[in-house]
Amino acid sequence: MPQRMDDQALAAAAQQGNLDAFNQLVIRYQTLAYHVAYRILSDADAAADATQDAFLRAYKAIGQYYGGSFKAWILRIVTNTCYDQLRAKQRRPISSLEALLVTEPAPGPSFIDQAESPEAYAVRQELSRAIQAGINALPADQRVALTLCDVAGMNYQEIAEATRVSLGTVKSRISRARTKLRDYLLTQQELLPAQYRLRDDT
């Protein structure tokens, strides 16, 4: 059974007021939503708040979901919530150096790679910090576009709809963002774990 159908069926049930059906969708997309929020906000707590807020908003607005990709729909809400957070943060800036650290002590069930050695975990933590620093250097719009593209795997059309800009704008934002991130990563090669370095054979 294609997952798309499942999403739609669950969303339809949620529209009838079935919270459990909606929570199935939450479980399905919460990791992705959190990842997107984390990349955009680069703050673990803010990302958690934004994710929770986005799902609440989505549930309340489920009546406005008219089919199509549920993933694109929920990520649009996540993106908007993140923009709100960024604006709020601009109003009262919080220093969040700490947020750049991956503070979770041990990998949990939602980890992609479950059997992980402490060394591997340290490497991942280091890498996460390094990459997030490169993403932080991007302007918010570029960061959002690149995140939706590379982290969420949305296509340009979906990104254009989610961020309410033209396809051409999406194209140029992603192009600029990726070029900058690439330049940054090339300056960080020695600091990156071997498997994340640019190799000659790729």
Partner 1 sequence: MDFLRRRNNAKHERTTAMLSAYVDGELEAEDRQRVEAHVAQCDACAEELRTLRYAKNVLARAPIPRIPRSFVIRRADLEAPAVTTAPRRLFGLSTRLAYGYLKGATALVTVVFALAVAGDLIAQLSFGRGELALAPGAQATVVDKVVEVEKAVQVEKEVVVQDTEEMEQSYQETPTLVVEGTPEMEMPAEKIVTPAPVERSALPTASPPVPGTEPSIQALAVPEPATTQEAVTGDLPPKEAVSVESVEESSKAGETFTPLPMPTATPPPSPVPSATPEPAVTTVVREREDTGGLTGFRIAEIGLGAAVLILLVATLVVRRQQSS
Residues that bind partner 1 (CB under 8 A): 19, 22-23, 26-27, 30-31, 33-35, 38-39, 44, 48, 51-53, 55-57, 59-60, 102-104, 107-108, 110-113, 124-125, 127-128, 131, 135, 146, 149-151, 153, 155-156, 171, 174-175, 178-179, 181-182, 185-186, 196, 198, 202
Name the nearest CA neighbour of 124 among 143, 144, 138, 104: 104
Question: Which of 69/125 has CB closer to partner 1?
Answer: 125
Question: Which of 30/69 has CB closer to partner 1?
Answer: 30
Only one residue has tokens 């975990």, namely 121
Minimal distance in Å, beta carbon 82 to partner 1?
A: 14
3-state secondary structure 98-113: HHHCCCCCCCCCCCCC
Tokens matching residue 107: 């990998």
Q: CA-CA distances (angstroms) from residue 184 to 131, 134, 156? A: 9, 6, 23
Report the SS3 class of residue 198.
coil
Three-point CA angle 121, 127, 132, nearest 5°: 125
Question: Which of 4/182 has CB closer to partner 1?
Answer: 182
Minimal distance in Å, beta carbon 2 to partner 1?
A: 21
- State which H helix or E strand residue 166 sits in: none
Minimal distance in Å, beta carbon 13 to partner 1?
A: 14
